[in-house]
Amino acid sequence: MADSFELVIIGGGPGGYNCAIRAGQLGMKVACVEMGPTLGGTCLNVGCIPSKALLHSSEMFEAAGSHMAGLGIKTKGVELDLPTMMAAKDETVDGLTKGIAFLFKKNKVTHITGRGKITGAGTVEVTDNDGATTTLSAKHIVIATGSEVTPCPGVEIDEKRIVSSTGALALTQVPKSMVVIGAGVIGLELGSVWRRLGAKVSVVEFLPRILPGADGELAKQATRIFKKQGFEFHLSTKVTAVKKQKSSLKLILEPAAGGEPTTMETDIVLVAIGRKPVTANLGLAAAGVTLDARGFIETDHWKTKAANIWAIGDCTTGPMLAHKAEEEAVACAETIAGGPGHVNYGVIPGVVYTAPEIAWVGQTEEELTAAGIPFKKGSFPFAANSRARANHQTDGFVKVLAHAKTDEVLGVHMLGAQVSEMIGAAALAMEFRAASEDIARTCHAHPTLSEALRQAAMGIEGWTMQM
Ligand code: FAD
Ligand code: NAD
């Protein structure tokens, strides 16, 4: 007899675990099948959390070594202890993945370890590490299998010298030099970690700019700042091959539009050209689940084309972000339970955890212009914000975009210290469909960095008060 559940979820990342917990809270009998040794998926094990742990400690290291002197704090003999830095990161990951296991128990979610596959209507077969199989029966199945690294043609990842983000989170020594392929989020975040710890970091990007999804003005200013920090950018360039030599790696580069090849030598290559959905060996085609042209599972309000089979998170279209997966997880569980699940895809913030940080929510200037939406713009530099001046962190600005006629906030874009923590207020305002005047007339504490958001909103009607 198969173990029987109301809901079986395949994948225990932010999509899967949040869906399982919410379904448990709603009283469903739910199982979550995860093939990895721990819960938490990419995010907790090899993504958001370990990268943010290393970003934090490497920022502290760089501050202790150079920035603190300007604040009158003399440091002597600051040394890197990489094994301890890595151990601190691992301890965080371990604690958080165990936290999910605790939440599963608390919400009566059955955690099943093994590889799940849909083998028939309402049937999931689970194969454990020893090859033993169990069959689960389920009224509903949610696919939350996430994403994996997109390979770069001509570049073979070995996770030692040619690494993906996973290898870059676990290097055992600081390389003298690192070439990052792709100036996206991973390239800039993990490039920042190793640059701060002492590597010479060069970034090769196919497009003529960094961070293709971000507002152009934001990306332009960020590029200038990253160059000052020591990043070297090779834009409009592609890598056609990486050859392993005895003590170095040789990259063959070409202009993106074609042309004469050039070469470059480095110790470590980090491949960060995007991620692709995990959909193989899941029995999807036989079950009637369809994929779009880019290989993502097609859904309509998280429902696939097959009855009672749902899909959420990175394996479906939309931004590949943990909080997007989490939103879909909750909405999907609530819909299965008969409720009105809802995700506001227009208000999903994006953050790049570099220093300064980059954060945005809503539409960019380029998107509004392309859509022919009339908008007004207000912006405010952190150089004119008293808290940023007190902290000696004056790089960057906040920009608010609002509809020219209705004044509804359509996008907020930020570059600066701690803007990852400020973007939530902008998202909240947009969720409530605030006008820029609502932000401009909300009392903000002084002196805070968030006053820059208010001042940028005041700029829409031209009453920003410069220092
Ligand atoms: P995943 O987290 O990928 O989880 C899918 C799970 O399914 C995995 O555990 C996998 O083992 C399991 N699985 C797959 N197939 C099967 C199967 N057949 N049977 C059983 N289990 C299976 N996002 C942010 O929002 N903020 C960040 O700061 C951030 N930083 C990142 C840093 C890095 C280096 C990387 C790589 C990603 C980062 N992301 C970040 C993206 C974020 O990790 C993903 O968007 C998020 O994890 C997606 O959640 P998910 O549940 O859809 O998939
Ligand atoms: P990305 O899509 O952010 O960036 C990939 C970059 O590589 C792009 O700029 C692209 O133009 C470039 N590129 C593509 N092919 C290339 C080639 N052949 N040569 C040179 N450049 C090439 O992808 P990523 O940085 O790998 O991150 C993957 C996913 O993980 C993203 O979707 C991101 O949302 C998620 N992530 C999020 C965070 C965060 O939220 N802070 C952090 C890390 C990762």
Average pLDDT estimate for 137-154 = 97
**Pair 330, 363: CB distance under 8 Å:** no
Q: Does the Cβ of 89 fall within 6 Å of ligand 1?
A: no
Ligand 1 centre to CA of 100 (Å) is 14
Take residue 134 and report the two structure tokens written for it: 């169990």
Take residue 317 and report the two structure tokens written for it: 């279209």
Q: pLDDT tens across 386-432, in order? A: 999 999 999 999 999 999 999 999 999 999 999 999 999 999 999 99
- What is the spatial distance between Cα 219 and Cα 223, in angstroms, rounded to a whole number? 6
Burial (CB < 10 A; 0-12, 13-18, 19+), residue 137, is middle
Residue 383, Cβ neighbours under 10 Å: how many? 14
**Atom 28 (ligand 1): residue with closest C-alpha?**
48
Of 297, 317, 269, 261, the closest CA to residue 152 belongs to 269
Q: Does the Cβ of 313 fall within 6 Å of ligand 1?
A: yes
**Atom 15 (ligand 1): residue with closest C-alpha?**
145
What average pLDDT does the chain have?
A: 97
- What is the spatial distance between Cα 33 and Cα 282, in angstroms, rounded to a whole number? 12
Average pLDDT estimate for 342-357 = 98
Helix (H) / strand (E) element for 46: namely helix 41-46
Confidence of residue 2 (pLDDT cuts 50, 70, 90): confident
Cα torsion angle, 361, 367, 372, 374, sign: positive
Take residue 130 and report the two structure tokens written for it: 């020893």
Atom of ligand 1 nearest to the CA of 42: 2
Confidence of residue 107 (pLDDT cuts 50, 70, 90): very high
Q: Is the per-residue pLDDT at 344 higher than 70?
A: yes
Select from 18, 35, 43, 284 the residue to mutate for testing ligand 1; criterion: most ligand atoms less than 8 Å from CB: 43
Ligand 1 centre to CA of 444 (Å) is 36
Ligand 1 centre to CA of 9 (Å) is 14
Ligand 1 centre to CA of 208 (Å) is 29
Atom of ligand 2 nearest to the CA of 272: 26
Residues contacting residue 55 through CB under 8 Å, at least 6 positions apart: 189, 192, 193, 353, 354
Residue 140, Cβ neighbours under 10 Å: how many? 22
Ligand 1 centre to CA of 96 (Å) is 14
Q: Does the Cβ of 115 fall within 6 Å of ligand 1?
A: yes
Q: Does the Cβ of 15 fall within 6 Å of ligand 1?
A: yes
- What is the spatial distance between Cα 310 and Cα 142, in angstroms, rounded to a whole number? 5
User: Bridge partners of 354?
Assistant: none
Strands (E) across 374-467 are located at: 375-381, 397-403, 409-416
Q: Is the per-residue pLDDT at 260 higher than 90?
A: yes
Atom of ligand 2 nearest to the CA of 350: 40
Confidence of residue 256 (pLDDT cuts 50, 70, 90): very high
Of 22, 18, 27, 5, the closest CA to residue 110 belongs to 5
Select from 275, 316, 323 the residue to mutate for testing ligand 2; criterion: most ligand atoms less than 8 Å from CB: 275
Q: pLDDT tens across 58-104, in order? A: 999 999 998 999 999 999 999 999 999 999 999 999 999 999 999 99
Q: pLDDT tens across 435-444, in order? A: 999 999 999 9
Note if the bond before 447 is cis, omega within 30 degrees: yes
Note if the bond before 356 is cis, omega within 30 degrees: yes
Residues with CB under 6 A from ligand 2: 152, 181-187, 189, 204-207, 212, 238-239, 272-275, 319-321, 351-353
Q: Is the per-residue pLDDT at 454 higher than 60?
A: yes
The pLDDT assigned to 343 comes to: 98
**Atom 36 (ligand 1): residue with closest C-alpha?**
47
DSSP string for residues in 261-310: -EEEEESEEEE-S-EEE--TTS-HHHHT--B-TTSPBP-BTTB-SSTTEE
**Atom 15 (ligand 2): residue with closest C-alpha?**
273
**Pair 350, 213: CB distance under 8 Å:** yes
Could you tell me the CA-to-CA distances from 251 to 60, 266, 273, 281, 423 in Å, in that order?
32, 8, 16, 34, 38
Q: How many residues are recorded in the chain? A: 467
Burial (CB < 10 A; 0-12, 13-18, 19+), residue 21, is buried
Q: Which residues are catalytic?
A: 446
The pLDDT assigned to 170 comes to: 98
Q: Does the Cβ of 116 fall within 6 Å of ligand 1?
A: yes
Q: pLDDT tens across 187-226, in order? A: 999 999 999 999 999 999 999 999 999 999 999 999 999 9
Q: Is the per-residue pLDDT at 327 higher than 60?
A: yes
- What is the spatial distance between Cα 121 and Cα 287, in angstroms, rounded to a whole number? 7
Select from 48, 111, 143 the residue to mutate for testing ligand 1; criterion: most ligand atoms less than 8 Å from CB: 48
Burial (CB < 10 A; 0-12, 13-18, 19+), residue 205, is buried
Q: Which amino acid is at 166?
A: T
Looking at residue 152, the DSSP 8-state letter turns out to be B
Helix (H) / strand (E) element for 335: namely helix 322-336
**Helix 48-65 vs helix 82-106: crossing angle, to nearest 10:** 150
Q: Does the Cβ of 459 fall within 6 Å of ligand 1?
A: no
Ligand 2 centre to CA of 180 (Å) is 11
In order of start, what are the domains of the chain with their CATH numbers? 3-149+276-343 (3.50.50.60), 162-273 (3.50.50.60), 348-461 (3.30.390.30)
Q: Is the per-residue pLDDT at 460 higher than 80?
A: yes
The pLDDT assigned to 1 comes to: 57
Average pLDDT estimate for 347-362 = 98
Ligand 2 centre to CA of 239 (Å) is 15
Q: Can you count the helices (H) and strands (E) in the chain?
A: 14, 22
**Pair 137, 5: CB distance under 8 Å:** yes
pTM: 0.98
Give the strand pairing for 133-143 and 309-311: parallel
Q: Which amino acid is at 84?
A: T
